[in-house]
């Protein structure tokens, strides 16, 4: 009996690991608060406007992808664009996850937010906030998925003096941001404003 008990004591207990919880399902409507170097603003996302875009944005924010990201393209009375992560490896990972296009349901009015893209089904991480009513973007398939509901004055104060991105202007080169990350921006474009945190409001 003693030998049996000793043998049992020596056996390793195998613990069953709980399965990871399923990813949180994106709500039909949700708000995201952006804390930035200029102040805070809030975006309200409407899934009915663009479901693919709204769901992907939710996933990016929940993954903290936008934390530390710079507003690399700010053109007055046009757009404020952001969405290239300062960590090149993280950018490469998320930048390869293209999502399908959404049909246009809302217009690119001032304050709305849409994904940047280079062609059909090419949307990944970069988004822009319209700083004016940009009707010319409606006909080219830029589908808004949300709008700024608080802090539009903060968005309009973001640093803009570098101008349009390279090679069309003297602003940052998006390719170099992807390759070098925030090291490139800190060295060459130190006055760009940044997102400190982006959080889905409960």
pLDDT in tens, 17-45: 555 556 678 999 999 999 999 999 999 99
Q: How many CB atoms are closer than 10 A to CB 105?
A: 13
Q: Which candidate, 125, 114, 149, 119, places its Cα nearest to that of 41?
A: 149
Element (H, E) at 80: strand 79-82
CA angle centred on 99, ends 32 and 154, rounded to 5°: 30
Give the per-residue pLDDT at 10: 47
Element (H, E) at 73: strand 73-75
The CA distance from 125 to 57, in Å, is 8
Instruction: Mark the ranges of the chain whose per-residue pLDDT is less than 70.
Output: 1-23
Q: Which two tokens stand for residue 202?
A: 């409960």
Give the per-residue pLDDT at 4: 35
Q: Which two tokens stand for residue 49?
A: 């406007």
**Domains within the chain, CATH numbers bracketed:** 27-200 (2.40.100.10)
Give the per-residue pLDDT at 6: 41
Give the per-residue pLDDT at 23: 66
Give the per-residue pLDDT at 25: 84
CB 45 within 8 A of CB 32: yes
Q: pTM of the predicted model, to two decimals?
A: 0.88
Alpha-carbon distance values, 138 to 33, 95, 104, 113, 199 (Å): 26, 24, 7, 12, 28
DSSP string, 4-69: HHHHHHHSPP-PPPPPPPPPPPPPSEEEEEEEETTEEEEEEEETTT-HHHHHHHHHHHHTTTTTT-
Q: Which two tokens stand for residue 67?
A: 């934390």
Bond before 167 cis per omega within 30 degrees = yes
Give the per-residue pLDDT at 174: 97
CA angle centred on 127, ends 165 and 77, rounded to 5°: 60
């Amino acid at each position: 009996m003693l030998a049996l008990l000793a043998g049992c004591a020596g056996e390793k207990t195998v613990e069953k690991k709980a399965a990871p919880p399923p990813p949180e399902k994106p709500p039909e409507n949700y708000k995201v608060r952006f804390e930035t170097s200029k102040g805070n603003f809030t975006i309200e996302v409407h899934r009915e406007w663009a479901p693919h875009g709204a769901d992907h944005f939710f996933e990016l924010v929940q993954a903290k992808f936008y934390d530390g990201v710079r507003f690399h393209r700010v053109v007055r009375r046009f757009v404020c664009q952001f969405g290239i992560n300062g960590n090149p490896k993280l950018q490469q990972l998320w930048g390869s996850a293209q999502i399908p296009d959404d049909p246009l349901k809302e217009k690119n009015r001032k304050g709305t937010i849409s994904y940047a893209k280079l062609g059909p089904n090419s949307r990944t991480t970069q988004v822009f906030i319209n700083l004016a009513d940009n009707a010319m973007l409606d006909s080219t398939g830029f589908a808004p998925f949300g709008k700024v509901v608080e802090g539009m004055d903060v968005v309009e104060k973001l640093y803009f003096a570098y101008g349009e991105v390279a090679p069309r202007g003297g602003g940052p080169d998006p390719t170099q941001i992807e390759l070098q990350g925030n090291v490139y921006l800190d060295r060459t474009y130190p006055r760009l404003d940044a997102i400190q945190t982006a959080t889905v409001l409960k």
